[in-house]
Amino acid sequence: MHIPVLLNEVIEYLNLKPGDNFIDCTIGEGGHSFAIWEKIKPNGKILGIDWDEKIIERLELNDKRQEVGENLILENDNYGNLKNIVEKHNFEPVNGILLDLGMSSWDVEESGRGFSFLKDEALDMRYSQKQALTAKEIVNYWPEDDLENIFKEYGEEKWARKIAGRIIEARKEEKIITTKKLVDVIGSAIPFRFRDRRIHFATRVFQALRIATNGEIENLKKGLASAAEILFPGGKIAAISFHSLEDRVVKNFFRDKGKERILKILTKKPIAATEEEISLNPRSRSAKLRVAEKLANSQ
């Protein structure tokens, strides 16, 4: 079952009231949105965005979605297009925005798209099946230098060069089309004695491929810029990141907009999950929440 991460903290910091309007940029299975509905009902509205068409289809059948009814607008798009989506639905005023940057449980457990190195699945990693680029194409056709660069930049993988070289060797023999084959290739590049015992040796490469396949960092930058622009004075932006690269983008964006007197940072340090939440939902261990408020004199 999907458990929304840092739910109580998100609700507390957004501090939404009855009649407020809320945007969930990555609505997933609706955990945060349906909890926030209890704070803004009966006249508040939610704009729920997800790039994965299957997620939207599943959410349409959710009993809670039926309860919220026309007060929940669902949009199958990338939140990088946030400003256009808001204009399309004439959705205003915007009092709160959430970007939960983690993968949904469905993506990992049920989608069959190769997001997990613990399953043997096709090497896809697309959130939206409408986009052309797949992880399989990156692994089998991108030059060695490009592979090394994304493993370094998006995965912060210290064995990036050796892994990229081993992938080039392996794909000459046969195409790498499954997650299991890729895990085997990665494993062959990292000496056993140098593997990080805390996390699986394939974690960083899989993260890097997912980010590259979906253009996640560029979309995050675009989404944050749009969020700061469309938010009404006094409204708040909350972002939950799950790795240092995302968190750095959010931190730097809030800092820069703070200097411009557009946003006021409400979390001097990122908020982490409590030990109690981590015990109930291990996925929350790496989550970091940052929140900023739109200043009144910025519009």
What whole-number distance in Å separates Cα of residue 214 and Cα of residue 51? 10
pLDDT digits (tens, 9 = 90+) for 137-163: 999 999 999 999 999 999 999 999 999
Q: Where exactly are the structural domains of the chain?
A: 7-107+216-298, 108-214
What whole-number distance in Å separates Cα of residue 50 and Cα of residue 240? 16
Residues 6+ apart with CB under 8 A from 20: 39, 40, 44, 95, 96
Burial of 197 (0-12, 13-18, 19+ CB in 10 A): exposed
Q: Can you name the CATH fold of 108-214?
A: DNA polymerase; domain 1 (1.10.150)
pLDDT digits (tens, 9 = 90+) for 234-281: 999 999 999 999 999 999 999 999 999 999 999 999 999 999 999 998
Q: Can you name the CATH fold of 7-107+216-298?
A: Rossmann fold (3.40.50)
Q: Could you give the 3-state DSSP secondary structure of residue 145?
A: helix
pLDDT digits (tens, 9 = 90+) for 13-27: 999 999 999 999 999
**Could you identify the residue written with the tokens 């945060």?**
32
Model's pTM, two decimal places?
A: 0.94
Which residues, listed in sequence order, are joined to residue 52 by a DSSP beta bridge? none
HSE-CB at 143 with a 13 A cutoff on CA atoms is 3
